[in-house]
Copies of this chain bind each other. A is one copy, B any other.
């Protein structure tokens, strides 16, 4: 997605340790119309790859929500976000999985209510970053636990040097990413 590649080149900031900060249009301030076009782009890319459309778009709170919502709107299906923090309102029964957060330096629990995902569902997972693949892998295990079928994975930005794509290859589903970012010698390479 050329527009996204150029935006990252212009505004991406290397925050150290290979982490690229995109707070100006993805992770804190969100460009709403660019987000729409991300949704369009995912739908266009998945179109030739899928025999059937999804019934749910699944993501993890917080920063996967905008792109997942835009994609869900295009498919006209609900978007379901895995929660990370338990609250007193969470009285349902949940699927649980654990992921490692690089930016927060801790294990995170991901939870999806059993009420909203089941054996008849077909799921595309959408998230902002594909880095080590830890979050996506946890989301995929939630989908598997529900009995739903995983159709594909879409991430806004892939960081090939962190090998998430290899880690997820065992899932046997298409992985679509809209831009790739590598930090080498303190410089950000985007393509």
Contact = CB atoms under 8 A, between A and B. Distances in A.
B103 A89 contact: yes
Interface in A1-56: 15, 17, 19, 21, 23-25, 27-33, 35-36
Nearest to A85: B104
Contacts of A113: 23, 28-29
17 contacts: A17-B88, A21-B89, A23-B92, A23-B116, A24-B116, A29-B78, A29-B80, A30-B65, A30-B69, A30-B78, A32-B76, A32-B77, A32-B78, A32-B79, A36-B73, A65-B66, A87-B104
Given A21-B89, A61-B61, 18 more contacts: A15-B89, A15-B91, A19-B88, A21-B91, A23-B113, A24-B116, A28-B81, A28-B116, A29-B80, A29-B113, A30-B69, A30-B78, A30-B80, A32-B73, A35-B73, A62-B81, A65-B65, A87-B104
